[in-house]
Structure 1
Amino acid sequence: MQNKIVTKEEWVEARKQFLIKEKEFNKLRDELTKKRQQLPWTKVDKEYIFETDKGQQNFADLFAGKTQLIVYHFMFGPSWKQGCKNCSFVADHYEKSIIHLQQQDISFVTISRAPLQILGDFKKRMGWSFKWVSSLGNDFNFDYDVSFTKEDMKNQVYYNYQKTTFPAEEGPGVSVFYKNTDGNIYHTYSSYSRGLDLLIGAYNYLDIVPKGRNEEGPMSWVRHHDRYKE
């Protein structure tokens, strides 16, 4: 591949014109972020008990003294032998970000339906240190539309705010919660599918190189980071 070849002066002029578009995009992104933060909340009334490295914990415990909680819904079904490669790609990005998020009154927890021991074995294999808990004994994943029953999958499942066909019993997603000083917990935001692109720093790098994402389908080239040939 090769784009049009121009002089240095012509290149600078073209770049300056594109910079105008980039600044417009940044302004729109800031506006979208503000509107996201102004979305209404809904109260979490259901009690959830999770299996964790520290024993059983309820949902409030996952806040770990913070008022804000980010949950990554990691695709890892009860009978799976390893976690989803695409979710692993996302996890590689937030693994080193969590310590910084904690400085901004945020707790970050990964939740899957696989048994805790299986999650721990896979986390050790991948070299991760983030908090990963099992929701196998509760309805959390089903209530937040990232796990589906076999009966649901015979027809259409509810995912990304619409009825659709889905190829697996687990789906990826991210959900955000807030805990008031009175102890009440509220669901403030959830995002699925392409909405998770915001969490993937590597895509931002791919988007600035000539070949772009260079993929036949979303994340079709991605592997577990210990399974690349090089």
Structure 2
Amino acid sequence: MPEHRIGTQEEFEAARLELLAEEKALTRRGDELARKRQELPWVPVEKDYGFETSDGTQSLADLFDGRSQLLIYHFMFGPPYEAGCPVCSSIADTLSPNAVHLKARDVTLICSSRAPLDKLLAYRERMGWSFDWVSTAGSDFHRDLGFLHTEEELRPFLEGEMPPAVSQNAEACGTDVLGYVTEGPGLSAYALSDGTVYRTYVTTARGLEPAMAYYGLLDRTPLGRHEDGEEIFWLRRHDEYATH
């Protein structure tokens, strides 16, 4: 544990009140951004995508499963992967138990990946998740959203200094670096109205942090995320951590 400034209870309370004012301002700003997300224009999805599911091939409209809203987490699990991305797996740990609560608010939550369906379902069983998981069945669904990249597009990144976490995660997925970073994570949202599917929101990178509940909790601990300078990325699948 590093050295830290020590203070009195009175000093703590004064500093905490100052911080609380900033936290409340951030909460109000978050509410404002949520309203702006919901005010984004809806874009009709005109392409006819097909998805392999446990109930056979389905359309994007079918994936709503009788509800009017759909959230899709684009899970990094490419065709050459032997196991899902550890980071996406940590996100799925948060998504799975929340699916039932989202259903109560007329929202269906699923994951989609490019790997064959049998690989996805076997991995889901290993991880103990309950959400529906679909394969994009060779369609351009992930590519059209910016979650699938070509080698040419990735060349500047591949020729640069490779972050240790990338090589580590590629090995954990049973593929090489190119095979790993070809895939990208993301979250997209849809509405179904009068038989038409509309895309309403898309995000990736740190926009996915609301689904990474552990970071919000770590941000409230004495050491925070404590990731700077780590040569070995700490995140693992939940069944791969050493017993503490």
* TM-score, structure 2 normalization: 0.86
Does structure 1 retain, via aligned residues, the 8 Å contact 2:78–2:180? no
Select the residue among 190, 212, 226 that pairs with 1:177: 190
Q: 1:133-172 to 2 correspondence within 5 Å? A: 133-154=134-155, 168-172=181-185
Select the residue among 226, 230, 240 that pairs with 1:214: 226
Structure 1 residue aligned with 2:169? none
Q: 1:8-87 to 2 correspondence within 5 Å? A: 8-87=9-88
Structure 2 residue aligned with 1:229? 242
How far apart in 2 are the matches of 1:141 and 1:220? Answer: 26
- Following superposition, the deviation at residue 56 of structure 1 comes to 1.1
Structure 1 residue aligned with 2:91? 90
Does structure 1 retain, via aligned residues, the 8 Å contact 2:209–2:215? yes
Match of 1:197, SS state, is helix
- Following superposition, the deviation at residue 138 of structure 1 comes to 1.1
Q: Bigger CA drift: 5-14 or 121-130?
A: 5-14
How far apart in 1 are the matches of 2:156 and 2:14? Answer: 54
* TM-score, structure 1 normalization: 0.91
* Amino acid of the structure 2 residue aligned with 1:125: R
What RMSD, in angstroms, separates the aligned Cα atoms of the two structures? 2.1
Please state if 1:189 is matched with 2:189: no
Does structure 2 retain, via aligned residues, the 8 Å contact 1:153–1:166? no
Please state if 1:198 is matched with 2:210: yes
Does structure 1 retain, via aligned residues, the 8 Å contact 2:80–2:179? no
Greater per-residue helix proportion: 2
Structure 2: where are the runs of 5+ without partners? Answer: 158-177
* 1:176-205 CA distance string (max 9 Å, x none): 01110x111111100011111121111111
Structure 1: where are the runs of 5+ without partners? Answer: 157-164
* 1:69-127 CA distance string (max 9 Å, x none): 00000000011101100000100011100000000010111000000001111111111
* Amino acid of the structure 1 residue aligned with 2:217: Y
